[in-house]
Amino acid sequence: MTRCAWAEGSEEMGAYHDVEWGFPVVDDRRLFEKFSLEGFQSGLSWRTILAKRPAFRKAFDDFDVEAIARYTDDDVARLLGDAGIVRHRGKIEAVINNSARAIELVEEAGSIAAFVWGYEPDPATGSRPPYDEITNEWLGLATTSPESVALSKDLRKRGWRFVGPTTAYAFMQAMGLVNDHAPGCPQREEVEAARTALRRP
């Protein structure tokens, strides 16, 4: 059995695949971090963002929404001058905006986790494309789902930015709301066991 083909490109991607990707997450800080980093990934590769993740965590106060919500124009200038991260004004300002929206969401729903896990698809009704046993890849794997479209729409209605349906689906894959490890991947069963044992918020 081999891991998902996309994880074979580097040691860092392999480690991320083996211990993080798809395992269910209910910690609000990690969920907000993932939304933020997926926004930065737009137009780039996840490998690039993963390599910069330590720098992102340092630059954004470890994705503490309360701290980020207090950022000023001076912080935007600081971040635009930080060569360790992706220096894109729109994406930086989106994280700051989204931190305030996240605080509002927690006041409404109790936690970010409680809100996003409400969009978990029903595994019994979900469909998957054909699977190639030679390459250990899904054929034509979807980049969105009805649930990711709905999650994106709901977040954008609440004022979040850089949370389109594709970003929302990548978030759902990574945070364990769906198990998109390939059938031949040993992590698929581990992720499913973790999802089964998870106490949903």
Active site amino acids: 16, 38, 46
Tell me how far CA of residue 31 lies from CA of 9, 28, 133, 137, 140, in angstroms.
Answer: 25, 5, 32, 26, 27
Judge whether 155 and 27 are in contact, CB under 8 Å. Answer: no
Q: What 8-state DSSP symbol labels residue 43?
A: T
Name the phi and psi angles at 131, rounded to 5.
-120, 135
In the block, tokens 């998902």 appear at 4
Q: Which stretches of the chain are DSSP H helices? A: 11-19, 28-41, 46-59, 65-68, 73-80, 89-109, 112-116, 146-157, 165-174, 186-197
Tell me how far CA of residue 132 lies from CA of 8, 129, 186, in angstroms.
Answer: 16, 10, 16
